[in-house]
A = this chain, B = another copy of it.
């Protein structure tokens, strides 16, 4: 059985997007190296520094399902109608968008909370890991004790303003460092959530 992860590129001052959801500066490390990695689901090609290669490869290959929130779905324009990683996406929302319900899509709208969404994601992910996205859903997953790992790609910059990853958590969470990979413009750190 896979584990439940969150993976975010975060600035040193804790933001996962700048003003107006801008991520261009934050994602600089995706294109600041020399190793080309095609992203099948999107047609994009990353050019990352060599130490970042296993991070990207694991990100693209190890996840069997995505659990995220309605805001993520809206801001990305439903990822153009297909899954960002080519796997089923479970979107936690109070009110599913009617225009998406009759279509054949990779999206499942879950109205009974993050616990239910993670349970449904586990059913389709099999042995693969589940990745949790969106700051609200990630916070709820931590608070519900559902998160096994937090993977941070710590981008070398202060954004100064934007959307904070960890806000209003309101509880102490012990973490154990599993792996640290220094790279160009970014430091990759994997933490196990101590339960």
Contact = CB atoms under 8 A, between A and B. Distances in A.
Interface of A: 12-14, 18, 25, 142, 150, 152, 154, 156-161, 164-166, 169-177, 180, 182, 184-187, 189, 191
B156 A176 contact: yes
B158 A142 contact: yes
Contacts of A14: 13-14, 164, 166
Contacts of A164: 14
Q: Closest 9 interchain pairs by CB?
A: A13-B166, A180-B182, A158-B173, A14-B14, A156-B175, A160-B169, A160-B171, A156-B177, A160-B170
Assembly stoichiometry (copies): 2
A106 B182 CA distance: 39
Contact of A172 (B25, B154, B173, B182): B25
A157 B175 CA distance: 5
A177 B185 contact: yes
B159 A191 contact: no
Contact of A187 (B159, B172, B174, B177): B177
B156 A161 contact: no
Contacts of A25: 172
Nearest to A184: B177
Nearest to A179: B182
A185 B189 CA distance: 12
